[in-house]
Structure 1
């Protein structure tokens, strides 16, 4: 029998580390992907010390066009098949789109959209065969327009829409698809994006470990969307009460304060 693995991208920090821990603690053999090989090695040692099976480590940068080919090749060498795909890798940049580096913003699309889509589709046959699933890391940002982080917010809107549509297509084949949409989480994301967390972070903040646990539980329970934390669950409901233009202006004002 072919061994099955759970593929987790962006596994070396933040929510990715916690996702690796929770999947491993529930008996999953992992294939961990990140651009920081030293951190992957440290995480793998921790997983083994906790009684988990040694993960497959794949060091690559999902911004590179050949990254998904490299992941597939590494798994083929190991002789394993993917049962679950956890598309956790992603990043954003703070600032006006016309002022930020264009290549870096295209890098956001490469990781948040292109690689996520590629891996979701590339391993669909094995996920169907093993009746597995896909956990895509979205964001509360996916429900909102995002002046000040236009490309990032738009990328997360894609993740939400794509996940919901793919879920509908794969459900008859026994494959679960869940979008995990946290609000503000204390992690390296803020530093890379170039933002200082504001009041909204204090209100909507949920720990990375709680987000990971909620995502795992939601996937296993075949939830469509997971909004971890009580405060964040209210936000999509509130958005229905206000015109889109009002929301757009409000987000713009919040982001403008961060530029000062």
Structure 2
């Protein structure tokens, strides 16, 4: 006879787990950090603006425990300094979410300096951050890479961002095989169009809210719930890729 306990897989608790989140002061990263804190995790976040950091930490501390630092991840060695600071503040790391990103346009629409900055924040910081946490994550640890559906929805104005996010997708797939046997789960989360500061100025906040009501845009919290799902699965499993898009999203 099937017991009720056998009808659902065991869920890993987030209570007491230690999580670092890059880009945790705004948008998707902030939503993830707040939800993890509300579920009992201790979080350490970063962002490049002090004011946004202060606001995010206030939200986190309303529901749980957290700290953070303001840092520009485009700088040499910056992501390694953030990881080391997070490890010291939390006394270890169980979860790492690489999420920080800056917007990018088409190749011919950006100057060389802007392209180099986008690569530094959106790609290099992911790889170097993964390198830093791979040496620190406690088995069974979790590394979550926030990618984008832009890797697959290709347009003439998306060459830089799409190229970077496609690179992240390939990196995540290979890294899962490299780190899995070492007790580290690697997951890629690819959101569709999501309300955030990155949508501005093309989509002002009021237009974003209208699109969310029309269900053609996601809330950042929708992505956070997806991250919560993959982090709470049994240690024998890994959610390799999670794609979350608006049900009624219009064509790009």
- The TM-score with structure 2 as length reference comes to 0.80
Q: Which residue of 2 aligns with 1:186?
A: 195
Flag the 1:49–1:203 CA change in 2: closer, same or farther, 3 A: closer
For residues 107 and 83 of structure 1, the distance between their equivalents in structure 2, rounded to whole angstroms, comes to 29
Moved over 6 A (4+): 200-203
Q: Which residue of 2 aligns with 1:165?
A: 174
Does structure 1 residue 112 correspond to structure 2 residue 122?
A: yes
- The TM-score with structure 1 as length reference comes to 0.78
Q: Deviations over 1:29-69 (max 9, x none)?
A: 1111111122222222222222x12x221110111123123
For residues 88 and 245 of structure 2, the distance between their equivalents in structure 1, rounded to whole angstroms, comes to 40
- Map 1:90-239 onto structure 2 (within 5 A): 90-94=101-105, 96-127=106-137, 129-191=138-200, 195-196=202-203, 204-221=216-233, 222-229=238-245, 231=247
Aligned length: 227
Which segments of 5 or more consecutive residues in structure 2 lack a partner in the other structure? Answer: 1-15
Is the 8 Å Cα contact of residues 17 and 43 (structure 1) preserved in structure 2? Answer: yes
What RMSD, in angstroms, separates the aligned Cα atoms of the two structures?
2.7
Q: Which has more helix, going by share of residues?
A: 1
Is the 8 Å Cα contact of residues 183 and 206 (structure 1) preserved in structure 2? Answer: yes
- Map 1:81-92 onto structure 2 (within 5 A): 81-92=92-103
For residues 204 and 163 of structure 1, the distance between their equivalents in structure 2, rounded to whole angstroms, comes to 27
Deviates more, 1:79-88 or 1:147-156: 79-88
Which segments of 5 or more consecutive residues in structure 1 lack a partner in the other structure? Answer: 236-250, 255-260
Cα distance, 1:143 vs. partner? 2.0
